[in-house]
Structure 1
Amino acid sequence: MRQAAEDATESALPEELVALLTGHLGVKADAGGFCGRTTFESLGLDSLSLMELVVAAEEEYGIVLPENALDLRPSSTLGEAARAFEHAR
């Protein structure tokens, strides 16, 4: 039962993150393509794309992402990015 709760939490990505991935970075994925375990690398994003994501998030939504958002790598997951969005100021 605990695994099911973790999966549900991981699949709940912030709308802003999904909008930036699809709109700003042009990532195409089916409905199940975006989950907490999906890596940026599997979506075809590199470290430059991740920096673009951070800058776009700050410009589009007027938020300041925490320092750990700058530590995101292509091997990082969308769940890790979602946690950074949750802690945005």
Structure 2
Amino acid sequence: MSQMDEASVRSLRRPELPEELVALLTGHLDVKVEADQLSPATTFESLDMDSLSLMEMVIAAEEEFGIVLPENALDLRPASTLGEAAQAFERAS
């Protein structure tokens, strides 16, 4: 695979996720995955996160970053994706 092809593949695997969300997952919530392996299609259950973990994430985000996440952030389920959570972060910023 050429360098151009590798760069294209990497950019497909690393779509933009809010830095705050990635920091919460990899730091505060101690999810055992490299940040570059996270994508909008990644589900919370694939990260072994349950409903309680999601509530902890919402509370930690609000405290850590001084934001108020919209009501739909509380509707996140383990089957929800990081892309859906990212949308909630975008609306709160």
TM-score, normalised with respect to structure 2: 0.82
Displacement of 1:30 after TM fit? 2.8
From 10, 21, 25, the counterpart of 1:21: 25
From 51, 54, 63, the counterpart of 1:47: 51
Which residue in the other structure is 1:75 paired with?
Answer: 79
Which residue in the other structure is 1:34 paired with?
Answer: 38
Which residue in the other structure is 1:11 paired with?
Answer: 15
Unaligned runs of 5+ in 2: 1-10
Root-mean-square deviation over aligned CA pairs: 1.8
From 64, 69, 77, the counterpart of 1:65: 69
Displacement of 1:22 after TM fit? 0.8
* Partner SS, residue 64 of structure 1: coil
User: How far apart in 2 are the matches of 1:48 and 1:67?
Assistant: 16
User: How far apart in 2 are the matches of 1:11 and 1:28?
Assistant: 19
Q: Is the 8 A contact 2:22 2:35 kept in 1?
A: no
Give the percent of matched residue pairs that are identical in Structure 1 and Structure 2. Answer: 72
**What letter is aligned with 2:75?**
D
Q: Output one character per residue of 1:51-77: Cα deviation in whole Å (capped at 9) or x when no partner.
A: 000000000000000000000000000
Unaligned runs of 5+ in 1: 1-6
User: How far apart in 2 are the matches of 1:88 and 1:52?
Assistant: 17
Equivalenced residues, count: 83
User: How far apart in 1 are the matches of 2:85 and 2:38?
Assistant: 12
TM-score, normalised with respect to structure 1: 0.85
Q: Greater CA radius of gyration, 1 or 2?
A: 2
